[in-house]
Amino acid sequence: MNNKSKTTKRFYVSDISCASCVTTIETALKSVSGVDEVQVNFADRTASVTGDVSSDKLIKAVGESGYTASLAEDESSSSERQNQDLVHYRDLLKKTIIAGVIGVLILAVTMLGVLPDITTPSGQIAYGVISLLTLFVLSYPGGRFFAGALKSFKNHSANMDTLISIGTGVAWVYSTFVVISPDSVSEVARHVYFDTAAIIIAFINLGSALEMRARGKTSEAIKRLIGLQPKTARVLREGAEVDIPIEQVLMGDIVRVRPGEKIPVDGEIAEGTSHVDESMLTGEPVPVSKKLGDEVVGGSVNKSGSFLFKANRIGKDTALSQIIDMVRKAQNTKPEIGRLADKVSSIFVPTVLIIATLTMMAWFNFGPDPKLTYMLVATVAVLIIACPCALGLATPISVMVGVGKAAEYGVLIRKGDALQKAGQLTTVVLDKTGTITEGRPVVTALEPKDGSSEEELLKIAASVEKNSEHPLAEAVVEASKERSLELISIESFEAISGHGVRASYQNKLVLLGNSKLMNDNGINLGALTRRSEELSKLGQTVIFVALDGQPLGLLGISDPIKTDSKEAIQRLQESGIRVVMLTGDNRATAGTVASLVGVDDFIAEVLPQDKANEIIKLQEQGEKVAMVGDGINDAPALAGADVGFAIGTGTDVAIESADITLMRGSLHGVADAVAISKATLRNIKENLIGAFGYNTLAIPIAAGILYPFIGILLSPIIAGAAMALSSVTVVTNANRLRWFKP
Amino acid sequence: MGIIINLIGVFLIVFIIWWFWIYKKQSEAQVQGSALDIIVDSGVYEPSVVHTKAGEEVTLRFIRKDSNPCSEKVLFSGIDVSADLPINIPYELTFTPEEKGEFEFACQMGMYRGKLIVE
């Protein structure tokens, strides 16, 4: 039993400078009760500890031996991260309150006029105390801004901290100068701005806290996915069912899942049947029936029966882990649209510093009296109101929410660029088999020529097709199994890409394929041609069979159209997108399927290797093209399209050729992806317009551009509030996407 | 007095341009052997310019000391690498840059900035 609570924790240990340090640290860790095994690695400065002991105790033990240990990332749980965030959030609120209370108190006493005149010694003492109080605000609640500004200044860079610290610092220095030497400034300019400096610090801390809270919500999609992972699994070990932590599940373990339980890892059903709710992973609302041999995915919920399954993907290889990894990576990518904002934000702060200097000079040279007061108010307002954060956040924060939203619908977006392009599509090309149709064709017609029988026709066709990997071949072999036909052993087999197969047995030559194959080999199809046309009109794919130069008959194979394909295609068309079907089938079959699902156009008789060329042709006509296919046979076309969608690939998440992977088989995934991309793109534009607009309007107003016309000059306190609100607004706007329904 | 204030203003503008845009001396480091530590603190990556060789695996160990959410992410442009950095827990980012060139890395808002030079 004890074994279950034992874990191996990995730590980074800093300050290891020699081999003797290793011994010291090892001794310190071994002395902690509960530790079984310790291994300190000098080369990579890590310590691995196995045992039943908390991380905190181990870190403390290393600390007491004179070194510093920190838990390696793998072991740091998301709850620890959340705790860190909470601590930081509370710290920001505390600093807001301290700065706010002091700031408001200073504002009250100066406004009420209860303080003695600043030119008197008692006045100087009173204002001196206020100056010290403000200094406390600047150095404690506002300390991080000054530390950050100094450090980045030394590194020849500037950021938001630079603006805040210069703004509040200038206000404090000027005010303190007035307190120390009130007679040096004219009577009208003898104002102090301690309240301004303190309240600005309060506002900026409050803004950071609100922004942090709002940001937490932007990563809810990831948290939700992480939350799908159960903590334990019930496995069969030595004939008994035992509950073990999920990390201890091994490949090949037989796992028991009872009704209502979450499936812990990926695997294949070994016993029993059930219905499984995969909606959290695939967006598929209806529970999927599962029987012996079917795949189950970790994180999905068993709805009805109890079953056993064999684990075949564990740990980081499970579909859920891959989805989390993919979403997280995609959330960290920026689409092209954010490039300009990135460029602007990289030169933003020094530019604002220059504008602030010019503002100062303009008020000094052209401003009314008291020049010093106006100079100070306008310069501080410019420094404080400028918000590089809103600009920098505008794009990535919407991408985070958009990518997360898409994942909720089983749409996995690989990069931010795909999100942008999916929102700008003009044409969507759909592969027919497996995309519009189920991809599980069945033999629906057997037409033997006179002198032959259905059995003989099917037997020869299936004998040849069992050597093929084509989806249609599977249908033929399946049909022969249903009739319990005994197949012939084939001696030679040659696939003729896009046309069919040539094979031989007992010195007999079999040709199996489309009419072109037959014509090329001089086979006279006769009456079969008419029958073939009739079947094609019904949407069936026709395969002719010829034996030793004579037609033997034909097989009609149909692949049922997915029930929601038509509706999904209509959704795409309603959003202004032209939908084109691409297929290797002949024109008649393709035309029938096309009219049944209502696509705008279709391209038939396309060989697999030519699919990518068809995409290029559309792109040359100026279309922004998406290709939707299975991700394996269509890989070149997916890679060549502006956006490649791999559809309904089940548990296989990481399809390199696809920009977007759809976890469920429905074409609604494409329509959802397009709708979410459009909404995200719109949201990014709103944010960018807002952030650019805010800065281009607010900075000149703060500089006093309205003053000559309507006598308005912005108070630095208002500037501080506006700045704090601007980035919160951007994050809140991005969060609106969380409520979007495609 | 007027001339002095104006001269100070002009000097400040010239200084800002020179300090932040022209005189671009940043802390540089070459990845040698195992991992290179990059401290993420107070708006700056230290070192902010990292040299490495194309085709060689590189491990950058980001140690984020700044609890501000700005510093949470590090994104490399031009190469498909990114990470979410925990506070005070070193995060090892291992990858192999295949192509030579200069790749910027930055926080999500572009306030923290650094450069990976692949030689």
pLDDT tens digits, A86-102? 888 899 999 999 999 99
Which residues in chain B touch residue A357, judged by CB atoms under 8 angstroms apart?
Answer: 9, 12-13, 16
Which residue is closest to B46 within chain A, CA to CA? A155
> How far lies B24's CA from each of A4, A54, A156, A633, A676, in Å?
55, 46, 6, 51, 42
- The pLDDT score that the predictor gives to residue A4 is 39
- The pLDDT score that the predictor gives to residue A2 is 37
For residue A700, give both structure tokens.
């000149």
Say yes or no to pLDDT of A58 above 70: yes
- The pLDDT score that the predictor gives to residue A672 is 95
CA A604 to chain B, closest CA, distance in angstroms equals 37
Is the torsion defined by CA of A69, A70, A74, A79 positive or negative?
Answer: positive
Could you tell me how far CA A366 lies from the centroid of its own chain? 52
> How far lies B100's CA from each of A96, A229, A265, B36, B97, in Å?
47, 40, 40, 19, 8
Selection from A491, A480, A385 nearest residue A442 by Cα: A480
CA B63 to chain A, closest CA, distance in angstroms equals 11
- Which has more confidence, A3 or B39? B39
CATH class of B26-118: mainly beta
> How far lies A483's CA from each of A166, A453, A628, in Å?
86, 13, 36
- The pLDDT score that the predictor gives to residue A17 is 63
- How many inter-chain contacts (A to B, CB under 8 Å) are there? 143
For residue A193, give both structure tokens.
């701005």
Compare CB distances from B110 to A211, A346, A361 and report the shortest one's residue: A346
- The pLDDT score that the predictor gives to residue B116 is 92
- The pLDDT score that the predictor gives to residue A624 is 95
Is the torsion defined by CA of A145, A147, A153, A159 positive or negative?
Answer: negative
pLDDT tens column, A579-595:
999 998 888 889 989 99
Question: What is the helix, strand, coil percentage profile of chain A, to 5?
Answer: 55, 20, 30
Half-sphere exposure of A508 (CA within 13 A, CB side): 16
Which residues in chain A touch residue B20, judged by CB atoms under 8 angstroms apart?
Answer: 156-158, 349-350, 353
> How far lies B57's CA from each of A268, A394, B53, B97, B101, in Å?
36, 33, 8, 7, 15
- The pLDDT score that the predictor gives to residue A658 is 87
Domain boundaries, chain B: 26-118
Check CB contact under 8 Å for A354 and B108.
no
- The pLDDT score that the predictor gives to residue A565 is 94
Check CB contact under 8 Å for B9 and A71.
no
Check CB contact under 8 Å for B90 and A332.
no
Polymer length in residues for chain B = 119
Between strands A427-431 and A578-582, the pairing is parallel
Selection from A266, A265, A183 nearest residue A232 by Cα: A265
- The pLDDT score that the predictor gives to residue A177 is 93
The pLDDT of B34-54, averaged and rounded, is: 86
In the DSSP assignment, the letter for residue A280 is H
Q: Tell me the whole-structure pTM to 2 decimals.
A: 0.80
Which residues in chain B touch residue A144, judged by CB atoms under 8 angstroms apart?
Answer: 42, 68
For residue B21, give both structure tokens.
């845009």
Compare CB distances from B89 to A44, A73, A393 and report the shortest one's residue: A73
Check CB contact under 8 Å for A70 and B21.
no
Which residue is closest to A371 within chain B, CA to CA? B2
Q: How confident is the model at residue A688 (pLDDT cuts 50, 70, 90)?
A: very high
User: 3-class SS at A230?
Assistant: coil
Contact (CB, 8 A) for A701 and A715: no
- The pLDDT score that the predictor gives to residue A76 is 45
Which residues in chain A touch residue B1, judged by CB atoms under 8 angstroms apart?
Answer: none
Q: How confident is the model at residue B33 (pLDDT cuts 50, 70, 90)?
A: low
Determine the Cα–Cα distance for residues A513 and A546; give it in Å rounded to an integer: 9
Compare CB distances from A155 to B35, B44, B89 and report the shortest one's residue: B44
Check CB contact under 8 Å for A157 and B43.
yes
Cis peptide leading into residue A608 (ω within 30°): no
Candidate from A45-59, A225-239, A570-584, B3-17 with smallest mean pLDDT:
A45-59
State the DSSP H helix or E strand holding residue A660, giving kind and residue range, or none if neither.
strand A660-662
Which residue is closest to A343 within chain B, CA to CA? B110
Select the residue from B26, B34, B42 to test the A interface by mutation, using most A Cβ atoms within 10 A.
Answer: B42
Say yes or no to pLDDT of A3 above 60: no
Say yes or no to pLDDT of A73 above 70: no
Between strands A492-496 and A500-505, the pairing is antiparallel
Say yes or no to pLDDT of A419 above 60: yes
In the DSSP assignment, the letter for residue A737 is G
CA A419 to chain B, closest CA, distance in angstroms equals 16
In the DSSP assignment, the letter for residue A487 is P
CA B99 to chain A, closest CA, distance in angstroms equals 19
Q: At what angle do helices A160-180 and A121-139 cross, to 10 degrees?
A: 170
The pLDDT of A224-236, averaged and rounded, is: 88
CA B89 to chain A, closest CA, distance in angstroms equals 6
The pLDDT of A507-514, averaged and rounded, is: 92
pLDDT tens column, A545-571:
999 989 999 999 988 899 999 999 999
Is the torsion defined by CA of A191, A195, A196, A198 positive or negative?
Answer: positive
Which residue is closest to B36 within chain A, CA to CA? A44
Q: How confident is the model at residue B38 (pLDDT cuts 50, 70, 90)?
A: very high
Select the residue from B37, B111, B113 to test the A interface by mutation, using most A Cβ atoms within 10 A.
Answer: B111
User: 3-class SS at A642?
Assistant: coil
Q: How confident is the model at residue A128 (pLDDT cuts 50, 70, 90)?
A: very high
Check CB contact under 8 Å for B16 and A347.
no
Predicted ipTM of the assembly:
0.84
Check CB contact under 8 Å for A354 and B16.
yes
In the DSSP assignment, the letter for residue A539 is T
Q: At what angle do helices A78-112 and A121-139 cross, to 10 degrees?
A: 170
- The pLDDT score that the predictor gives to residue A79 is 65
Determine the Cα–Cα distance for residues A188 and A45; give it in Å rounded to an integer: 64
Which residues in chain B touch residue A41, judged by CB atoms under 8 angstroms apart?
Answer: none
Selection from A202, A260, A211, A210 nearest residue A234 by Cα: A260
Check CB contact under 8 Å for A70 and B13.
no
Select the residue from B108, B112, B113, B115 to test the A interface by mutation, using most A Cβ atoms within 10 A.
Answer: B108
Q: Output the DSSP codes for A314-380.
A: -GGGSHHHHHHHHHHHHHT---GGGHHHHHHHHHHHHHHHHHHHHHHHHHHHHPPSSHHHHHHHHHH
In the DSSP assignment, the letter for residue A114 is -
Sequence-distant (6+) residues with CB within 8 A of B82 are A329, A332, A333, B73, B74, B75, B76
Which residues in chain B touch residue A43, judged by CB atoms under 8 angstroms apart?
Answer: 34
- The pLDDT score that the predictor gives to residue A45 is 67
Say yes or no to pLDDT of A77 above 60: no
Which residues in chain A touch residue B2, judged by CB atoms under 8 angstroms apart?
Answer: 364-365
Check CB contact under 8 Å for A389 and B70.
yes
Say yes or no to pLDDT of B88 above 90: no
Determine the Cα–Cα distance for residues A306 and B31; give it in Å rounded to an integer: 54
Which residues in chain B touch residue A334, judged by CB atoms under 8 angstroms apart?
Answer: 75, 77
- The pLDDT score that the predictor gives to residue A35 is 87
CA A189 to chain B, closest CA, distance in angstroms equals 16
Candidate from A67-76, A433-442, A485-494 with smallest mean pLDDT:
A67-76
State the DSSP H helix or E strand holding residue A282, giving kind and residue range, or none if neither.
helix A279-282
Q: Output the DSSP codes for A460-474.
A: HHHHHHTT---HHHH
Question: What string of H, E and C letters represents the secondary structure of chain B?
Answer: CHHHHHHHHHHHHHHHHHHHHHCCCCCEEECCCCCEEEEEECCEEECCEEEECCCCCEEEEEEECCCCHHHHEEEECCCCEEEECCECCCEEEEECCCCCEEEEEECCCCCCEEEEEEC
Check CB contact under 8 Å for A81 and B86.
yes
The pLDDT of A390-419, averaged and rounded, is: 90
Which residue is closest to A362 within chain B, CA to CA? B6
CA A497 to chain B, closest CA, distance in angstroms equals 36
A79 by Cβ neighbours in 10 Å (0-12 / 13-18 / 19+) ranks as exposed
Check CB contact under 8 Å for A156 and B23.
yes
Q: Just list the catalytic residues of A.
A: 431
The pLDDT of B65-78, averaged and rounded, is: 84
Determine the Cα–Cα distance for residues A728 and A206; give it in Å rounded to an integer: 10
State the DSSP H helix or E strand holding residue A275, giving kind and residue range, or none if neither.
strand A274-277
| Phi (first) and psi of residue A108, to 5 degrees | -65, -50
Average per-residue pLDDT in chain A? Answer: 87
Check CB contact under 8 Å for A357 and B77.
no
For residue A390, give both structure tokens.
């809103």
Check CB contact under 8 Å for B17 and A397.
no
Which residue is listed with tokens 């070994």? A270
- The pLDDT score that the predictor gives to residue A106 is 94
Which residues in chain B touch residue A15, judged by CB atoms under 8 angstroms apart?
Answer: none
Q: How confident is the model at residue A649 (pLDDT cuts 50, 70, 90)?
A: low
Sequence-distant (6+) residues with CB within 8 A of B7 are none
Q: How confident is the model at residue A133 (pLDDT cuts 50, 70, 90)?
A: very high
User: 3-class SS at A683?
Assistant: helix
CA B96 to chain A, closest CA, distance in angstroms equals 17
> How far lies A239's CA from each of A264, A267, B33, in Å?
20, 19, 49
Determine the Cα–Cα distance for residues A83 and A89; give it in Å rounded to an integer: 10
Say yes or no to pLDDT of A74 above 60: no
Which residues in chain B touch residue A153, judged by CB atoms under 8 angstroms apart?
Answer: 19
Check CB contact under 8 Å for B5 and A388.
no
